[in-house]
Amino acid sequence: MYVALYRRFRPETFSKVLGQEHIVKILTNQIRSGTTGHAYLFCGTRGTGKTTMARLLAKGVNCLSEGERPCGVCDRCAAIRDGIFVDVIEIDAASNNSVDNIRELRESVKYPPGAGRCKVYIIDEVHMLSTGAFNALLKTLEEPPENVMFVLATTEAQKLPATILSRCLRLDFKRVPAEMIRRGMADICGEMGVRATEEVLRLLASNADGSVRDGLSLLDQCISAGEAEVTRDTVLELLGSPGADRLTELTAKMSGGDVSGGLVFLDRLLAEGVDERQLIKDWIEHFRNLMLLQHLKRPEDVLNMSAENIEKLKAQSGALSPAFINASIFRLAKILNDARWSAQPRVLLEVGMIEMAAPEAFAPSARQAEGSARKAGGAAERLPPANAPPAERKPPAEASPAESAPQAGVPPVEASPAPSSAPTPAPSTLQPSSINWQEVVKEVSKGKPLLFRLKDRSRLAETGDKTFVVEAFDEMTQKAAKEAREQIEAAVNRRAGRALRMDCRLCEGGEPKPPGPGGNPGAAVPNAAGQSTEELAQQIEKALNINVTIAGE
pLDDT in tens, 274-318: 888 889 998 998 999 999 998 888 887 777 676 777 888 888 888
Q: Using 50, 70 and 90 to split pLDDT, how confident is the model at 397?
A: very low
- Please enumerate, as own/partner, the contacts of 346-352 that have beta carbons within 8 Å and a separation of 24 or more: 346/270, 346/276, 349/266, 349/276, 349/279, 349/280, 350/263, 350/266
* Diameter of the chain measured on Cα atoms: 120
Question: Whole-angstrom Cα distance, residue 414 to residue 229?
Answer: 92
Residue with the larger pLDDT of the pair 339 and 532: 339
Question: Whole-angstrom Cα distance, residue 201 to residue 213?
Answer: 14
In this prediction, residue 405 carries a pLDDT of 43
Angle at which helices 50-62 and 21-33 cross, to 10°: 20
Q: Say which DSSP state 424 is in.
A: P
Question: Whole-angstrom Cα distance, residue 456 to residue 441?
Answer: 10
Q: Using 50, 70 and 90 to split pLDDT, how confident is the model at 516?
A: very low
CA distance between the termini of the chain? 81
Q: What is the mean pLDDT of residues 503-524?
A: 58
Three-state DSSP at 149 gives: strand
In this prediction, residue 479 carries a pLDDT of 85
In this prediction, residue 414 carries a pLDDT of 44
In this prediction, residue 227 carries a pLDDT of 66
Cite the DSSP H helix spans in 124-197. 131-142, 162-165, 178-192
In this prediction, residue 474 carries a pLDDT of 85
Least confident of 81-90, 361-370, 481-490: 361-370
Beta bridge mates, 502? 468
Question: Whole-angstrom Cα distance, residue 426 to residue 383?
Answer: 9
Q: Using 50, 70 and 90 to split pLDDT, how confident is the model at 539?
A: low
Q: Using 50, 70 and 90 to split pLDDT, how confident is the model at 512?
A: low
Question: Whole-angstrom Cα distance, residue 42 to residue 154?
Answer: 6
Mean residue pLDDT of the chain comes to 80
CB 288 within 8 A of CB 264: no
* Residues 313-365: tens digit of each pLDDT: 888 888 888 889 999 999 999 999 998 888 889 999 999 999 888 765 555 54
Is beta strand 458-463 parallel, antiparallel or unpaired with respect to 229-230?
unpaired
Question: Whole-angstrom Cα distance, residue 382 to residue 380?
Answer: 6
- Please check the confidence at residue 52 and state whether its pLDDT lies above 50: yes
In this prediction, residue 124 carries a pLDDT of 93
Sign for the pseudo-dihedral over CA of 444, 448, 450, 456: positive
CB 471 within 8 A of CB 423: no
Across 77-86, 460-469, 517-526, 539-548, the highest mean pLDDT is recorded for 77-86
Three-state DSSP at 43 gives: strand
Q: Using 50, 70 and 90 to split pLDDT, how confident is the model at 163?
A: very high
Q: Using 50, 70 and 90 to split pLDDT, how confident is the model at 548?
A: low
What the chain holds in terms of domains, given with CATH numbers, is 5-172 (3.40.50.300), 178-239 (1.10.8.60), 244-361 (1.20.272.10), 432-519 (3.30.300.180)
Neighbours of 287 (CB within 10 A): 23
Neighbours of 114 (CB within 10 A): 9
In this prediction, residue 167 carries a pLDDT of 92
- Please check the confidence at residue 85 and state whether its pLDDT lies above 80: yes
Torsion of CA 223, 226, 230, 236, to 10 degrees: -90
Across 38-42, 298-302, 366-370, 423-427, the highest mean pLDDT is recorded for 38-42
Residue with the larger pLDDT of the pair 420 and 139: 139
Percent share of the chain, pLDDT over 90? 33
In this prediction, residue 523 carries a pLDDT of 45
Q: What is the mean pLDDT of residues 67-90?
A: 91
Residues sharing a CB contact under 8 Å with residue 466, sequence separation 6 or more, in sequence order: 500, 501
Peptide bond connecting 70 to the previous residue in cis, omega within 30 degrees of 0: yes
- Please check the confidence at residue 450 and state whether its pLDDT lies above 90: no
What is the enclosing helix (H) or strand (E) of 444? helix 437-444
Residues sharing a CB contact under 8 Å with residue 345, sequence separation 6 or more, in sequence order: 276, 277, 280, 335, 339
Question: Whole-angstrom Cα distance, residue 251 to residue 356?
Answer: 10
Q: For residue 246, give the nearest of 278, 199, 291, 209 by alpha carbon.
A: 278
In this prediction, residue 445 carries a pLDDT of 82
Percent share of the chain, pLDDT over 70? 77
Question: Whole-angstrom Cα distance, residue 124 to residue 154?
Answer: 6
- Please check the confidence at residue 513 and state whether its pLDDT lies above 60: no
CB 472 within 8 A of CB 505: yes
In this prediction, residue 433 carries a pLDDT of 58
* DSSP-assigned letters across all residues of 195-254: EE-HHHHHHHHHHTTT-HHHHHHHHHHHHHT--SEE-HHHHHHHHT---HHHHHHHHHHH
Least confident of 32-36, 156-160, 271-275: 271-275
- Count Cα neighbours of 228 within 13 Å in the Cβ-side half-sphere: 0
Q: Using 50, 70 and 90 to split pLDDT, how confident is the model at 2?
A: confident
* Residues 92-121: tens digit of each pLDDT: 998 988 999 999 999 999 888 988 899 999
Q: Using 50, 70 and 90 to split pLDDT, how confident is the model at 403?
A: very low
Q: Which amino acid, 394? A: K
* Residues 186-226: tens digit of each pLDDT: 999 888 888 888 888 888 888 888 899 999 998 888 888 76
CB 234 within 8 A of CB 308: no
In this prediction, residue 549 carries a pLDDT of 58
